Amino acid sequence: MSVDELKNSWSAIADIGGKDVVFREAIATGVLQLSSSGIEAVKGRSKKGDVREISTIASIQAVKETPRILPHCHTIPIEGCSVEWQIEGCNLRCTVTVRTHWRTGVEMEALCGVNAGLLCAWDMLKSVEKDSEGQYPDSRINNVHVLKKSKGDQHN
Buried b (16+ CB within 10 A) or exposed e, 135-151: ebebbebeeeeeeeebe
| Of the candidates 145, 151, 126, the residue with the CA atom closest to the CA atom of residue 137 | 126
Residue 4 has pLDDT above 70, yes or no: no
> Of how many residues is the chain composed?
156
Residue 42 lies in a domain: yes
pLDDT tens digits for range 34-66? 999 999 999 998 999 999 999 999 999 999 999
Rounded CA-CA distance 34/145 in Å is: 19
Residue 59 lies in a domain: yes
CATH for 127: 3.30.70.640
As a whole-number percent, the residues of the chain with pLDDT over 90 amount to 84
Residue 45 lies in a domain: yes
Residue 2 lies in a domain: no
Residue 120 lies in a domain: yes
Residue 131 lies in a domain: yes
Structural domain harbouring 79: 20-151
Active site residues: 123
| Of the candidates 60, 28, 32, 30, the residue with the CA atom closest to the CA atom of residue 124 | 32
Residue 7 lies in a domain: no
**Count of domains for the chain:** 1
Residue 9 lies in a domain: no
Alpha helices in the chain (DSSP H): 3-9, 36-43, 51-69, 107-124, 126-129
- In this prediction the pTM is 0.90
pLDDT tens digits for range 97-142? 999 999 999 999 999 999 999 999 999 999 999 999 999 999 999 9
Q: What angle in degrees, to the nearest 10, is found between the helix axes of 36-43 and 51-69?
A: 100
